[in-house]
Structure formats: structure tokens, C-alpha cells
């Protein structure tokens, strides 16, 4: 999409509003035509050349009336401009946000959150700016057309000199285009890097302190700031230099007119009123010329903003930015029609065939995974570090976009896993839980209504009751970035409670228990087994407490399923499983649990 096409699509987003805004500002810019003529009349009346004979007070009253009318129109003009500008900005931000939310979780944005904020803020602002200036240029062009018609009627040669600077401005702006774009792109990029570095530093305070990396981090931040200073200076200097060329070329024109007018007035070909009219219109012609220059500058800068906004789309067509759709955030609204039908069905079998996902940068991931989960079963995915366990569950749930493979819910293909695998179909707790700056209650509920007994039950199942008793404000304790920091285990159990408070047919746990002690983990699985009813569980874990409960175990190696079966079968047949099992056995903490797990295993036989 070219910048001009982008601008036209923005204008037609609310054509009515744009036209209203353009009409309002065109009238505002045309109004000064009247006081110019009135002023000419006033001066001509002093020399006896006036045509209308309104008298001094009549002329003053007309001037005041015209000024008052213009003030009222400007107030209205600002109202239409604000409406147009902010609606357009809102549409762009909404479409970007919608696109980001539709992307699979792990692919949401291609840059750091700080850089994304800079795209959402600065690039959208820049776009608003250019579209808004187009209205001014249209209004001022109308003024220039009417004014030049009147002025040519008085003196064609002088009129030419008034408009000559316009040619200079347009030529200079065109010549400076590529340089201006280059400087603007560099300054925006540098600003993004600074914003990104700030968000990284705030997000990793502890890691920086622990690694004693304060000085290096500050040095890196200083380097980014230095680069930003240099690029911003170039960008600003270029902008200001162009502005000064625009303004001074106009001043030059004024000087020439003054010299010429003096001679013509002496010869009597030019009245004092004509002179006042030229001088009066010159102020507005100056504004016209400067604003045409500003619009050209803004338009060029908008093309940089457009490129950066498109980068957030990660390959999606640019027209996504200017779509007129409503923002569909509720899960029901986002579901594909085919998925909506399957969503009502109780889970009998979940089949995965040939599921493949390779990370574009490393080529690693999962390859040709086949698996089947029976409704009500408890399946554990295990394997060595980096074998693809997390990638498998994330691809299954649509958090990563599968390269190949099909997923079937009761034999029906799931069209869009990312919207399908949400409550009430499925609930998921990630390996690294995210906490928000809010109360513990709100972190668990995340907006879920009608908490009632389900919250109590979820807290109990997640073995959280003891922790809540010891938090000074219980469930109302503020946690997350601005509240009490929870331990790794508490965070994992909060994430488990968040998942369990949602009614779902399939619960997916990604390494939920890695930060739990054996006793707590044991309790968690036992409670889950007591209360989960017919729910199906898919659990990533290498801990015996989970493996011992499993109906079915999948052993991953190098992105593929290496073996599967029950713990007992795998202990006999899979060397990888034996290693994982004995590796867990070797940990001192687990020593006590081994007996329990063996007992569980025996009781299952």
C-alpha cells in the first residue's frame, strides 16, 4: 500500500466526518477574504477611493463581526478536527491491537513491548498529524485560489510575486524528501530502542543486580541515548531548516512586494487600499505556504510511520490497519463458525495427527507428533530439557501457529485452535506464570464472574489456602509488580487456581510443579484427582508425583515422540524414561516420595 492510498483509506474511514471537518476549516480559511476587502475599503475611504461608502464605524463594526464569526468557526473547527483525528487514531490502534490479539500467543509482537508502545504511540500520532494537515491544505488552497483571483484583478505582476515563494517551498521540500525520511526513520528507530531498553531494565531489575551488571546495563542505555540524541538532532535540524526556508522565502516575497508597491503607488496605479489588501492577504498566503510545506513534511514522515506499523503486522496485508470492523474481544465473537458448533460437545477424544512446528530462527521445535487423549484421562508429556514438551502443548493450544498437522475434537477438525482451546473447552497454565499488579483474588479470577464456591474450591485444589491465611490481607493482598512478590511455588499455584476456577473439559498444565516441594505437589495432584470429575488432563512434567498418576505417558526426544505407554511399561522399554525416572529419584527431596509413588504405582497395577 502506498502512503497516498493509506491516506485515502484513512480519510474514507469516516468520510462524513472528514468532509465536515474539511468544510469547517475551508470556511475558517476563507473568512479572512472578507476582512481583507473591508480593510481595503477602509483605507480607500480615507483617500476618497472607496466604492461602498460604509463610513468608519460601519467598517469597524464589519471587521469586529468578521473576527467574531471566525472565532466561533475556529471553535467548531477544533471540535470537528478532534473528532476526526482521534477516531482515526482509535481505529488504527484498535486494528493493531486486534491483530496482535489474534496472533498466536508466542508470536504476538515482533519486537520488545517498549518498541511496540512506541509504534502504537508515535507512529499513530504521526499518521493522525498528516491526515489532519491535509484538511488545512485543502482549506488554504481554496483561500489561495479566491485570494489570487481578487489580487490578479488588481495587479497580476504583484500577485505572481506573492505566490512565487510557493514554488520555492515545494521544490525544496521535494529535494529534501529522501534525507528527511532517512533521518525520521533513524530517530524513530533510536527512540524505540531507548523505550525497549527501559522496559527491559524495569522487567529485569533483579537479574541485573544479581549479575552485578548495573554498569554495563547503564553503559548500554547511555549508548542508545547517545544514538537517539544524534539522530533526533539531525531529524529536528532538518525539520527546522525546512521550516525556516519556507518562512524566509515568504519574507523575501514580502520585501519585493513592498519595493514594487512603493513605486506603483507613486505613479498612482495602486491605491492605499490595494496595498493594504496585498499585505493583509500576504499573512494568510504565508500560512498557506508554510502549511503546504508542513503537510509535505508530514506526508513523508507518515510513509516512515506506515512502514513501522506494517512491521507490527508480521506479513499480514497493510489494509488490516484501516479495516472498519468492530473489535471482537469476547471469545464467543472470535470463534470460527465451525469451531463454535464443536465447542458445545463434551470431549470424547482429542486427536493430534502429524503436528509440526519449527521456530523460524532455530528450526527446532516439534516434528510429526501423533497423539490421542481419551476424555477423562490423565496424560503426562515428559522428556529431557529442550525436547519439545512446551512447544507441543503450545502448538496444540494454538499459542504457536502449527506448520502442519490436524487437531480433532471428537473427530471434528479444529479450525482455529487459539480461539477454540479456551474455557469452557480448555484451560491452560503456562510454565512461567504471569501475575498482574492487582489483588490475589483478581489475579485468580481475571474478570471471571460469579466466583461463589468455585473460587474456594480452586484455591483448595491448588493447595493455596495456607498461603492465603498467611498473607496480611488474604485474597485482597496486592501482588504482582506493585504488590507483594510471590514465591515461584506460590505463583505456580496461583496460576493453577486461575486455571481451575474456570470450568473446562481439558486442563493443560505446563510444568506446573517445577517450583513445588514434593509434599505440596503430591497434595495438588491428589486434590485434583478428587475434584476434577470427568475433566481430561494434559500435563507436562518429569516429576514422579505426576508420572505415577498418569494413565498414559508420552516421552519426547528431539522434538518427536520417542516412546509412550504407562510408567510401568516405559520403565521396562524406554532408556530415556528410565533416566528421567532415576534422575528424579536421585534428588534428595524426593527420597521420601519414592515410596509413596511406588505404592501408587503398585496400587494401579
The least CB distance from residue 555 to ligand ATP, in Å, is 11
Which residue, 193 or 542, is less far from ligand ATP as judged by CB? 542
Which residue, 123 or 510, is less far from ligand ATP as judged by CB? 510
Q: Are the C-beta atoms of 182 and 193 separated by less than 8 Å?
A: no
Which residue, 196 or 383, is less far from ligand ATP as judged by CB? 383
Annotate 72-114 with DSSP letters as a single string.
Answer: HHHHHHHHHHHHHHHHHHHHHHHHHHHHHHHS-GGGS-SS-HH
Sign of the C-alpha dihedral computed for residues 333, 338, 341 and 344 taken in this order: negative
The least CB distance from residue 532 to ligand ATP, in Å, is 24
Which residue, 479 or 539, is less far from ligand ATP as judged by CB? 539
The least CB distance from residue 362 to ligand ATP, in Å, is 4
3-state secondary structure of 537: strand
The least CB distance from residue 540 to ligand ATP, in Å, is 7
The least CB distance from residue 95 to ligand ATP, in Å, is 26
315's CB contacts (< 8 A; 6+ apart) are none
The least CB distance from residue 495 to ligand ATP, in Å, is 15
CA distances (Å), 527 to each of 189, 463, 585, in order?
52, 8, 23
- All 3 cell numbers of residue 242? 525546512
Which residue, 536 or 541, is less far from ligand ATP as judged by CB? 541
Would you call 454 exposed, middle or buried from its count of C-beta atoms within 10 A (0-12, 13-18, 19+)?
A: middle
Which residue, 107 or 230, is less far from ligand ATP as judged by CB? 107
* CA dist., res. 455 & res. 474, Å (int): 13
Cβ atoms within 10 Å of 29's Cβ, excluding its own: 28
* CA dist., res. 429 & res. 513, Å (int): 11
- State the number of CA atoms in the 13 A half-sphere of 80 facing the CB: 22
Which residue, 268 or 315, is less far from ligand ATP as judged by CB? 315
- All 3 cell numbers of residue 594? 519414592
Positions that interact with ligand ATP (CB under 6 A): 359, 361-362, 364-365, 383, 385-391, 431
Which residue, 105 or 376, is less far from ligand ATP as judged by CB? 105
The least CB distance from residue 426 to ligand ATP, in Å, is 19
The least CB distance from residue 203 to ligand ATP, in Å, is 17
- Dihedral of the alpha carbons of 142, 144, 146, 152, in degrees to the nearest 10: -160
Bridge-based pairing of strands 365-374 and 349-358 is antiparallel
Which residue, 543 or 552, is less far from ligand ATP as judged by CB? 543
The least CB distance from residue 114 to ligand ATP, in Å, is 19
Q: Are the C-beta atoms of 340 and 391 separated by less than 8 Å?
A: no
3-state secondary structure of 261: helix
Amino acid at each position: 500500500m502506498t502512503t497516498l492510498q493509506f491516506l485515502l483509506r484513512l480519510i474514507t474511514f469516516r468520510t462524513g466526518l472528514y468532509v465536515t471537518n474539511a468544510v469547517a476549516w475551508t470556511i475558517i480559511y476563507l473568512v479572512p477574504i472578507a476582512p481583507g476587502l473591508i480593510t481595503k475599503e477602509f483605507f480607500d475611504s480615507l483617500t476618497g477611493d472607496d466604492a461602498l461608502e460604509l463610513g468608519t464605524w460601519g467598517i469597524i463594526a464589519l471587521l469586529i463581526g468578521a473576527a467574531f464569526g471566525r472565532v466561533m468557526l475556529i471553535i467548531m473547527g477544533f471540535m470537528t478536527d478532534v473528532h476526526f483525528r482521534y477516531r482515526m487514531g482509535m481505529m488504527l490502534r484498535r486494528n493493531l491491537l486486534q491483530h496482535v490479539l489474534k496472533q498466536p500467543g508466542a508470536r504476538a509482537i515482533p519486537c520488545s513491548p517498549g518498541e511496540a508502545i512506541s509504534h502504537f504511540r508515535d507512529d499513530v500520532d504521526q499518521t493522525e498529524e498528516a491526515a489532519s494537515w491535509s484538511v488545512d491544505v485543502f482549506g488554504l488552497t481554496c483561500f489561495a485560489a479566491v485570494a489570487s483571483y481578487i489580487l490578479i484583478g488588481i495587479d497580476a505582476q504583484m500577485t505572481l510575486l506573492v505566490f512565487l515563494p510557493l514554488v520555492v517551498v515545494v521544490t525544496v521540500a521535494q529535494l529534501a524528501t529522501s534525507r528527511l525520511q532517512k533521518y525520521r526513520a533513524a530517530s524513530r528507530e533510536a527512540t524505540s530502542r531507548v523505550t525497549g531498553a527501559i522496559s527491559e531494565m524495569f522487567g529485569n531489575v533483579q537479574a541485573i543486580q544479581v549479575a552485578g551488571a548495573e554498569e554495563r546495563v547503564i553503559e548500554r542505555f547511555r549508548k542508545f541515548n547517545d544514538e537517539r540524541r544524534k539522530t533526533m538532532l539531525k531529524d529536528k535540524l532538518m525539520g527546522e531548516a525546512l521550516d525556516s526556508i519556507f518562512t524566509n522565502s515568504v519574507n523575501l516575497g514580502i520585501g519585493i512586494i513592498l519595493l514594487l508597491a512603493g513605486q506603483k503607488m507613486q505613479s498612482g496605479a495602486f491605491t492605499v487600499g490595494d496595498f493594504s489588501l496585498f499585505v493583509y492577504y500576504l499573512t494568510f498566503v504565508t500560512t498557506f505556504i508554510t502549511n503546504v510545506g508542513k503537510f509535505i513534511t508530514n506526508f513523508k514522515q507518515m510513509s516512515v510511520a506506515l512502514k513501522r506499523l506494517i512491521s507490527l503486522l508480521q506479513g499480514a496485508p497493510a489494509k488490516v490497519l484501516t479495516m472498519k470492523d468492530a473489535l471482537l474481544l469476547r471469545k464467543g465473537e472470535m470463534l470460527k463458525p465451525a469451531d463454535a458448533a464443536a465447542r458445545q460437545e463434551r470431549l470424547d477424544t482429542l486427536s493430534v495427527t502429524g503436528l509440526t512446528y519449527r521456530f523460524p530462527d532455530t528450526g527446532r521445535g516439534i516434528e510429526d507428533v501423533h497423539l490421542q487423549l481419551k476424555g477423562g484421562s490423565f496424560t503426562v508429556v515428559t522428556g529431557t530439557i529442550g525436547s519439545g514438551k512446551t512447544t507441543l502443548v503450545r502448538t496444540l493450544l494454538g499459542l504457536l501457529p502449527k506448520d502442519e498437522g490436524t487437531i480433532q475434537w471428537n473427530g471434528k477438525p479444529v479450525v482455529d485452535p487459539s480461539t477454540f482451546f479456551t474455557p469452557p473447552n480448555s484451560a491452560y497454565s503456562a510454565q512461567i506464570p504471569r501475575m498482574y499488579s492487582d489483588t490475589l483474588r483478581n489475579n485468580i479470577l481475571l474478570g471471571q464472574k460469579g466466583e461463589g464456591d468455585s473460587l474456594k474450591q480452586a484455591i483448595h485444589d491448588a493447595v493455596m489456602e495456607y498461603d492465603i491465611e498467611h498473607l496480611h490481607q488474604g485474597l485482597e493482598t496486592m501482588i504482582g509488580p506493585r504488590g507483594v512478590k510471590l514465591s515461584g511455588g506460590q505463583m505456580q499455584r496461583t496460576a493453577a487456581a486461575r486455571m481451575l476456577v474456570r470450568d473446562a473439559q481439558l486442563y493443560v498444565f505446563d510444568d506446573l510443579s517445577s517450583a513445588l516441594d514434593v509434599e505440596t505437589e503430591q497434595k495438588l495432584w491428589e486434590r485434583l484427582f478428587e475434584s476434577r470429575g470427568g475433566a481430561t488432563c494434559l500435563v507436562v512434567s518429569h516429576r514422579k508425583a505426576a508420572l505415577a498418576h498418569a494413565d498414559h505417558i508420552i516421552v519426547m526426544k528431539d522434538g518427536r515422540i520417542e516412546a509412550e505407554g504407562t510408567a510401568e511399561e516405559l520403565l521396562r522399554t524406554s532408556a530415556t524414561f528410565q533416566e528421567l525416572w532415576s534422575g528424579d529419584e536421585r534428588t534428595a527431596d524426593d527420597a521420601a516420595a519414592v515410596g509413596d509413588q511406588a505404592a501408587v504405582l503398585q496400587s494401579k497395577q
